[in-house]
Amino acid sequence: MVAIKALACELPAKTGTPLARWQSPDLARAAVESGIVASISGTTIWRWLSADAIKPWQHRSWIFPRDPDFGAKAARVLDLYARRFDDTPLRPDEFVISADEKTSIQARVRKHATTPPAPRRAMRVEHEYARGGALAYLAAWDVHRAKVSAAANTPPASSRSTGSSSR
Q: Per-residue confidence at 49, pLDDT binned at 50, 70, 90?
A: very high
Write the pLDDT tens digit of every residue in 50-78: 999 999 888 788 888 899 999 999 999 99
Map out the domains of the chain as residue ranges: 2-51, 69-94, 96-167
Q: What is the pTM of this model?
A: 0.42
How many other CB atoms are found less than 10 A from the CB of residue 12?
A: 19
Write the pLDDT tens digit of every residue in 143-162: 888 888 877 676 555 444 44
Among candidate residues 167, 165, 139, 164, the one with its CA nearest the CA of residue 153: 139
Please, is 14 exposed, middle or buried when counting C-beta atoms within 10 Å of its C-beta (0-12, 13-18, 19+)?
exposed
Distance CA 138, CA 135 (A): 10
How many other CB atoms are found less than 10 A from the CB of residue 37?
A: 14
